[in-house]
Chains A and B, each alone.
Chain A
Amino acid sequence: MHGGLPFVGLSTVVYTTVAIVTLAARGIRRIRR
């Protein structure tokens, strides 16, 4: 199984949210260092 396009779009919203939160957390960590 290689993964594909979402059937509805729910996952796009969740994945995008996780991406934003992860990037923000990394940015905050970098600034604190």
Chain B
Amino acid sequence: MSHSITVIVPAHNEEQGLPATLDALAAQTAPADQIIVVDDGSTDRTPEIARSYGVTVLTPPRHLGSKARAQNHALPHCRTALVLTVDADTVLAPDYIARITPAFDDPAVAVAAGNVQTRFTRTIWERGRSIEYLFGFHWHRPIQNAANSAVVCSGCCSVFRRDALVAFGGFPERTIVEDMDVTWSQQIAGRRAVYVGAAVAWAADPETLRYLRKQVWRWMAGFFQNVRLHLGELVRRKPMLAVWIILAVLEILVAPLWWATPVLAPLALHWSVGGTLAWWLGAELAFTTPPLVYAAVRRRLPLARVLGNVPFVYATKAVNLYYAWKAMVVELVLVPLGVSGGLTTYEKGRADTPAAPL
């Protein structure tokens, strides 16, 4: 079954990343019917670059300031059965569209996304992220998919069934991570969200701590905004998805205690320092290495290189954990108490212009 498809590329000051994104879209073995670049308040050459590729360029009358709003600006211009959103720093494999659209042969599927991999592995943050992706996309996602309960269809390369998306009111602007909001909402409504591992996309991940902090804070705050918004209904209507989410929250709650164990156990339980450390490291390796080895074999990556990047993941995990706790406190405690408004400003790492609040 063939499916017509429109690609939306929201872009704010993306002159560096946009050419590779548009080259990859032009090289698709199953070309899109239309490509729309939303030039959202760019002050660089983003619109000129987009026009040079012969794609439709939409320029909102004012800086919309969020990915969801930019995508919603383009949605009324889409006439196809499917809509694919691609970040302006993400590159799709040439067969991405060809591999992901058959998922929509199932009329229950409302949203689908492929396997995201790191485009660059130069800095410690990119190396750490590459390990996170290996774990997430070759272990968590396929298992969530097998249990028909995807936690998120990544917004950098998600395909949506247009009529379901329009009926839902477009890309949700009520949380800071619209991809997770759509993924959960569609499943609560009885439709399916699926992961297609054979469709590959390469994302440019944060190369600096400054950029990483902004991205992780946005992701974590968005996660807890969705927990606040949806968890009750998920428990009732999509219990398996609720299990993954409660598990993630439990991990965040217990993590500081687990990370402090090498210090606390010798002090409180009088365990030997060396023995405690060996036990802790052994447990860490036992929990993480087997899925990573499996992922490396699946991807045909050199095992030594993958395992050599494992130490870097502790740097990204530390950043993740800090912002997970901050987000949990802000979004689940301070916002309900009315003390804080939560994170409402969509600030993309590489953009130089502050965005408007939601």
Chain A positions within 8 Å of B, measured between CB atoms, are: 1-15, 18-19, 22
When distances are taken between beta carbons in the complex, the residues of chain B under 8 Å from A5 are 131-132, 135-136, 288, 313, 317
**Contact A11 B152, beta carbon cutoff 8 Å:** no
Complex CA distance for A3 and B152, rounded to whole angstroms? 8
CB distance from B177 to the nearest CB of A (A): 6
Within 8 A of A (CB), among B244-279: 244, 247-248, 250-252, 254-255, 258-259
A15 contacts which of B140, B258, B320 (Cβ < 8 Å)?
B140
* Nearest CB in chain B to that of A12: its residue: B287
Complex CA distance for A6 and B313, rounded to whole angstroms? 11
Complex CA distance for A9 and B286, rounded to whole angstroms? 9
B180 at the interface (CB under 8 A from A): yes
* Nearest CB in chain A to that of B154: its residue: A2
When distances are taken between beta carbons in the complex, the residues of chain B under 8 Å from A11 are 140, 244, 247-248, 251
Given A4-B317, A9-B258, A15-B143; 11 other pairs, CB 8 A cutoff: A1-B223, A2-B136, A3-B136, A5-B132, A5-B136, A5-B288, A10-B250, A12-B288, A18-B143, A18-B146, A22-B146
The 4 closest A-B pairs by CB, nearest first: A3-B136, A9-B287, A4-B132, A7-B255
**Contact B135 A4, beta carbon cutoff 8 Å:** yes
* Nearest CB in chain A to that of B222: its residue: A1
Pick 6 A–B contacts, CB within 8 A, sort by A.
A2-B133, A4-B317, A5-B288, A9-B288, A11-B248, A14-B243
CB distance from A26 to the nearest CB of B (A): 8
When distances are taken between beta carbons in the complex, the residues of chain B under 8 Å from A22 are 143, 146-147
A4 contacts which of B179, B244, B284, B316 (Cβ < 8 Å)?
B316
Complex CA distance for A12 and B143, rounded to whole angstroms? 11
**Contact A10 B137, beta carbon cutoff 8 Å:** no
When distances are taken between beta carbons in the complex, the residues of chain A under 8 Å from B250 are 10
**Contact B223 A12, beta carbon cutoff 8 Å:** no
Q: Known contacts A11-B247, A14-B243: does B252 contact A3 (CB below 8 Å)?
A: no
